[in-house]
Structure 1
Amino acid sequence: MSASRTPGSAGLVRLVAAREISARLRDKNFIISSVVILVVLLGAMGMQVALGSGGDSTRIGLVGGSAALGEALEAQGEALDVDVTVVAVDDEDAARTAIEEDEVDGVLVAEGAGEPELLVEQSADGALQSVVQGAVAQLALADQLAAAGVSDLELPQVGVTALDPDADQDGQRVGMAIIGVSLLYGLLILFGQFVAQGVVEEKSSRVVELLLATMRPWQLLAGKIIGLGLLGLAQIVLIVVIGVAGALALDIVDIPGELVGTAVAVVAWFVLAYAFYAAIFAVTASLVSRQEDLNTVVMPTIMVLVVAFVVGIQAASEPEGTLAVITSYVPGLSPMVMPVRQAAGSVAAWELVLSAALMIAAIVLVVRLGGRVYAAALLRTSGKVKMREALRAERV
């Protein structure tokens, strides 16, 4: 009977990664957080649609008046970029009923020889009043010109030249980048905490001693980071796909190509940022043996993430500012700042390559130094271990 074959390094890493994924998929906190993120995202898109659809359309009832008045109301609405629907109403009593039942926003009464009167429930909003006032004035002017014998008056057309025709699209790109960076920040905090909590749980329960009997510390660290990283990547891809599909379906954005590009950039920066911060969270968590002490060692890392997020939001208003440019090259800060600068369209290709290269170099450095600390501190369960002590012990 042959002895069972011991898995190699890759096999052990895969086992740890599968274990982390399975454990988190059964974790209620992970499921709840995922649902909350999706609900917030869909709610934000719904609010955007609601805010965008309000104030750009109106239903106007018309009592009496000529066909020309109805056409003037529609023409004035088109000029003001307001979708006007003219509804014929029999008389003033019917007009009051239509207003009370919210069938129309207001009714223009143009019966008899008197001046037209606009009936509303409480007050006329800006769009309604502008459309009615402009249409009535336009029709009155045409009648007066006709009475004076002027039948065809040519008015000069005013040309419109936009100094920044792409301003709206730039704003949409930056807005999408801010949403992406906010999502990136939230997921890094969430999965960083998962990594840290898992390390402390294994130390406090002495499970790590059993694990290290069959594998090396770096294999355990790699499996933990890769497993939760794949889960985080799947989550952010799912959220991004739902967000992009919802934005396109609800017509929230006018630049689908740019939207997809921004989404891909956010996902790519998530991979780099997660590899960097997950290693730091795991290493710092290995210094303590109790959940009660965890917050003290991970707080500096969380504060760096907070600073990165704040700088990234600030970069939206000044992407070429000194602070935004410098921090877009600083490892740890760049994943929050560079996507916003990219969305603003002010990043050259060499800047993007340099920022990513510096981030990758930082990841290699953190993993190498962090792996030494992790290996030395993992089996020390008596109180809090200092970073210097862990490095000294590992060298010995």
Structure 2
Amino acid sequence: MSRDGRTDTPTAPRPTSGRRADLALVGIVAGREITRQLRNKAFWASVIVTTAMLCLSFALTGVLKDEAPPTVGVIGERSTVAAALRPQVTVKEYGDAGSARTAVRDKAVDAVVLPDGEVLVLRNLPEDLGRTIRQAEQTARHVEQLNALGAAPGEAEAALAPPGLRVSALLPDAAEAQERTMTAGLGVFLLFILMLISGLGIAQGVVEEKSSRIVEVLLAKVRAWHLLAGKIVGLGAAALVQILLMMTVALTAAISFGVLRAPLSAVGTAANLLLWFVPGYVLFVTLYAVAGALVSRQEDVNHVIGPVNMLQMLSLAGPALAVRGGPDDSLLTIVSIVPGLSWAAMPMRMAVADVPWWQAVVAFALMVLAIAVLVRVGGRVYRGGLLRYGGIVKVREALHGAAH
């Protein structure tokens, strides 16, 4: 009982039916967007073409990487030259100069060393191969001189054999780090292109619904933020399907062709990049959707998405700094924490070197916070711009319209 004698009634719990209804409406809009994307031929064409280009590039890289050493023909009597060449090239011995010349014409060998020291080639002698043959000739001459002075068989070769090298690597995982950097850099570029295409598509879709007055019918059934959230979730899910397909096929091809020596490290880098891409995608897609709500004609789309494109271009500064300036660059550290830029900079920086855990947590938290603020403010702009026609609507006008 209260002080004035009235009986206090317990506050009723807030019903959850409204929240469930909101989620259901967002799900309906998201399902509509997913269906439209998955039925879009251009969507699948981009997946097929991009994946095919990646697989082809990995195949070519694997072939060039596994290129066989050059083959050099030697006349049988030049056994010392053949012995000096074998550690570095494939040697074929011929009984006479005529058969060796035929082998050169038939491209069975890259070069032939004749008994008088002349090197026979089909067109020209590659610089590296010429250097190898020159060193072999010098070694063979020294062996022959030592044998003439009475060296026992095998002693001359043993005396001239180079000593074994004691190798101590300062960066033993340099090759693995290079593969992580390559995976992160290529992934950032592909996701950047995908984000750009998806952003343009969502902006054009919003303008199409607005210019055809379909949005008026939709707003009679759902709220503006239902449309915005549904578009973000639907297009994000479709983009995730696209990314997973491309990454799976590309990584499989890279491992199959031997391009990646540490596949688990590359897969981990790709997964980390995908983790950072999700909030970045949500942020930029929201900006593109809000920008599309400010115009009524497709011709005006490029005018309103220009600032968004510029911000997205700035996100590539992080990977560039990671490659050129190195992981200890102070500017890279700042860029990898700034929301809107961190989605590309932080995973690239993490692929190059170890990053303090607290910096990664702060960067991710700032990104989530920026998305929350953007969805709240952007939702008002989106709502205020959808029902305003004629030219480009200013952000201030859209916010003023949303308040009424």
Q: 2:392 pairs with 384, 387, 392, which one?
A: 384
Q: Unaligned 5+ residue runs, structure 1?
A: 1-5, 78-83
- Indicate conservation of the 8 Å contact 2:317/2:345, yes or no: no
**Counterpart in 1 of 2:219?**
212
What residue identity is the alignment partner of 2:110?
A: D
Q: Unaligned 5+ residue runs, structure 2?
A: 1-17
Larger Rg: 2
Q: CA separation in 2, counterparts of 1:158 and 1:51?
A: 27
Aligned in 2, Cα 1:345/1:311: closer, same or farther, shift over 3 Å? closer
Matched residue SS, 2:316: helix
Q: 1:21 pairs with 8, 16, 34, which one?
A: 34
Matches within 5 A, 1:40-55: 40-54=53-67
What residue identity is the alignment partner of 1:221?
A: L
1:146 matched to 2:151? The reply is: no
Q: CA separation in 1, counterparts of 2:60 and 2:361?
A: 37
Q: CA separation in 2, counterparts of 1:339 and 1:256?
A: 17
Q: CA deviation at 1:208?
A: 0.8
Q: 1:358 pairs with 366, 378, 383, which one?
A: 366
1:270 matched to 2:277? The reply is: yes
Q: CA separation in 2, counterparts of 1:32 and 1:156?
A: 57
Q: CA separation in 2, counterparts of 1:158 and 1:310?
A: 41
What residue identity is the alignment partner of 1:87?
A: K
1:102 matched to 2:107? The reply is: yes
- Indicate conservation of the 8 Å contact 1:195/1:278, yes or no: yes
What residue identity is the alignment partner of 1:88?
A: E
Matches within 5 A, 1:311-322: 311-318=318-325, 319-322=327-330
Matched residue pairs, number? Answer: 380
- Give runs of ≥4 in structure 1 deviating > 4 Å: 66-69, 153-158
Structure 1 length-normalised TM: 0.89
Residues 250-284 of structure 1 show CA distances to partners (whole Å, capped at 9, x for unaligned) of 11122212101111012112211111111111111
Matches within 5 A, 1:338-353: 338-353=346-361
**Counterpart in 2 of 1:194?**
201
- Indicate conservation of the 8 Å contact 2:80/2:144, yes or no: no
- Indicate conservation of the 8 Å contact 2:322/2:352, yes or no: no
Q: CA deviation at 1:174?
A: 1.4
**Counterpart in 2 of 1:232?**
239
1:166 matched to 2:173? The reply is: yes
**Mean Cα displacement is larger for which, 135-144 or 232-241?**
135-144
1:292 matched to 2:299? The reply is: yes
Q: CA separation in 2, counterparts of 1:344 and 1:222?
A: 35
**Counterpart in 1 of 2:286?**
279
Aligned in 2, Cα 1:23/1:157: closer, same or farther, shift over 3 Å? closer
**Mean Cα displacement is larger for which, 272-281 or 249-258?**
249-258
Q: CA deviation at 1:223?
A: 1.1
Q: CA deviation at 1:68?
A: 5.3
Matches within 5 A, 1:81-96: 84-96=89-101
- Indicate conservation of the 8 Å contact 1:62/1:88, yes or no: yes
Residues 274-319 of structure 1 show CA distances to partners (whole Å, capped at 9, x for unaligned) of 1111111111111111111111111100111112113422322222
- Indicate conservation of the 8 Å contact 1:61/1:95, yes or no: yes
How large is the Cα RMSD of the aligned pairs? 2.2
Q: CA deviation at 1:199?
A: 0.7
Percent identity of paired positions between Structure 1 and Structure 2: 39
Residues 224-252 of structure 1 show CA distances to partners (whole Å, capped at 9, x for unaligned) of 11111011111111111112111111111
Residues 97-135 of structure 1 show CA distances to partners (whole Å, capped at 9, x for unaligned) of 22122211112223xxxx333211122213322332333
Q: CA separation in 2, counterparts of 1:218 and 1:136?
A: 79
**Mean Cα displacement is larger for which, 131-140 or 270-279?**
131-140
1:58 matched to 2:63? The reply is: no
**Counterpart in 1 of 2:8?**
none
- Indicate conservation of the 8 Å contact 2:204/2:298, yes or no: yes
